[in-house]
Structure 1
Amino acid sequence: MFPGMPVAGAGADARRLEKILKQLSSADRESLFAFAEFLLARSTDEIQDAPKEEQQPKGIERPVEESVIGAVKRLRENYFMVDPDTLLHETSEVMQSHMLKGRPAADVIDDLEQLFDSKYKDYTDSMKENSE
């Protein structure tokens, strides 16, 4: 795909998306955008272009008040070195437990932090294996 080139069916996709967006609440629209940004991030070449040496999290602190979507964005930025593909399914499940099942945001954010930390540990283990 070339940037700026028209995408076949994009008009129909845009109309479908616009119709869906109009029917969603503000919070659900934010969830949809966060998920779309997550998908976009995983499709970029950031991870492939990164140096092949172990990288450290940025150390971004958890704010006192934070939404689940804000937490995903913060954790994605903090753990930039972790392949987003390894997080997609589990992150979606945890987010759904909040959005669809009403789990408290603080509990969901705790789970997300554990998930990202676990995937970071997998990353550091794989870096150690590759360097041996």
Structure 2
Amino acid sequence: MRSEEEKLLELFGRLDDSQRETLIAYGEFLVTRALRGGETAPSTPDQPLPIARPETETVVMAIKRLTQTYPMLDRRKLFGDTSKFMAQHALEGRPAVEVIDELEVVFSRHYRTMRNEE
């Protein structure tokens, strides 16, 4: 087994059930993102789509919702911020509601920046 895999397994073993579920969901998000190549679809809308924020939502669900809300954004540019907030939640225990609030701001800011660059 490679050292990265061993380290990941060690970290996974130190997490509680909820944190393990979050880590698995984040891994699935990363794989899905890699399979898509992070590319924006050619027929993307110019305006954010009106997808309501549910009362209860995980950070991974929020990232998926915001990605669907803002399909015109380059996911590669968002990756650093989303990874940072996901880590704060999954590894540091920052409450999901706070992280999701921050993600909302980040996606909105990226959208405004994109619009100003056009």
d(CA) in 2 for partners of 1:97, 1:46: 23
Task: Say which of 102, 110, 115 aligns to 1:119.
Answer: 110
Question: How far apart in 2 are the matches of 1:47 and 1:56?
Answer: 18
CA RMSD of aligned residues (A): 2.9
TM-score (norm 2): 0.72
Aligned residue number for residue 50 of structure 1: 42
1:32 Cα deviation from its structure 2 partner: 3.7
2:71 pairs, out of 70, 77, 80, with 80
* Match among 78, 84, 97 for residue 88 of structure 2: 97
Q: Does 1:64 align with 2:64?
A: no
State which drifts further: 30-39 or 66-75.
Answer: 30-39
Note the C-alpha offset of 1:41.
2.8
Mapped to 2, the partners of 1:46 and 1:88 lie a distance apart of 10
**Which structure has the larger Rg?**
1
Consecutive unaligned residues of structure 2, counting only runs of 5 or more, are none
Q: CA deviation at 1:49?
A: 4.2
Distance in 1 of aligned mates of 2:69 and 2:34: 15
**Letter matched to residue 50 of structure 1:** P
| Structure 1 residues not aligned, in runs of 5+ | 1-11
Rounded Cα–Cα distance in structure 1 between residues aligned with 2:37 and 2:83? 22
Q: Amino acid of the residue matched to residue 102 of structure 1?
A: G
- Go from structure 1 to structure 2 and tell me whether the alpha carbon gap of 1:50 and 1:38 turns closer, same or farther (over 3 Å shift): farther
How many Å apart are 1:54 and its aligned residue? 6.2
Counterpart of 1:3 in structure 2 is: none
Deviations 1:34-53 (A, max 9, x none): 434443335526745414x8
Distance 1:73 1:34, change over 3 A: farther
Runs of 4+ in 1 over 4 A off after TM superposition: 22-26
